[in-house]
Structure 1
Amino acid sequence: MIHAHLVLLGEGGEDMEKVGRAIEPDNLPNMNLLIDELCLRLQFSIEKPGTLLTTMDDLLMNIKIAREMLSVAEER
C-alpha cells in the first residue's frame, strides 16, 4: 500500500476553501481532504504506483481547472 500526502498552498489571497469544495465530489473513498482558507491537504492510499500517478494527475488537473474557473468568476 502506498500512502500519499499532498499539501497545496493558495497564492495571493486565493480562497483554497472554494477550490477544495470544487474538487470534493471527485474524492475516492480512500481519500481524506482537509480544507482551510490557506491550503488543501489531501491524504490517500493507493495499491499500485501507476494508480498513484494517474490519481495525482487527475487531482492536479481538477485543481487547476477549479482555480481557473474561480479566477474567471471573480474577474466578472
Structure 2
Amino acid sequence: MSEKRACIETTHEDAPTIAAALRPDNTPSMTTRVDDGAIRTTVERETAGGLQSTVDDYVVNLTVAETVARTAREHSTQP
C-alpha cells in the first residue's frame, strides 16, 4: 500500500516560535521545518483516514500556537 501524504505550508510573524511549539506534538510520521517565515509540515500516513485525522489534529495545534503567539505579542507591546 502506498503512503498518503499532505504538505501544509503556513506563514507567520514568528514562524520559528510557532514551529517549536508544534514539534512536541508531531508524530513520527510528521516533519516540520521553517524556511523564510513559512512553516512547512509534511504528514505521511498509510491510510487516507489516518492522514485526515493527523492533519486535523495538526491544524488545531497550529491554531492554538498562533493564538498564543499573537496574544503574547499583543501583551508585550502594550504600555
- CA distance in structure 1 between the aligned counterparts of 2:51 and 2:40, rounded to whole angstroms: 16
Residue of structure 1 in register with 2:6 after alignment: 4
For residues 29-63 of structure 1, the C-alpha deviation after alignment (integer angstroms, 9 at most, x for no partner) is: 12111113510111121011111111111101100
Q: What letter is aligned with 1:72? A: T
TM-score by length of 1: 0.86
Unaligned runs of at least 5 residues, structure 1: none
Residue of structure 2 in register with 1:56 after alignment: 55
Structure 1 runs, 4 residues or longer, greater than 4 Å off: none
- Rg larger in structure: 2
Unaligned runs of at least 5 residues, structure 2: none
Work out the number of aligned pairs and report it: 73
Q: RMSD of the alignment, in Å?
A: 1.2
| SS in structure 2 of the partner of residue 17 of structure 1 | helix
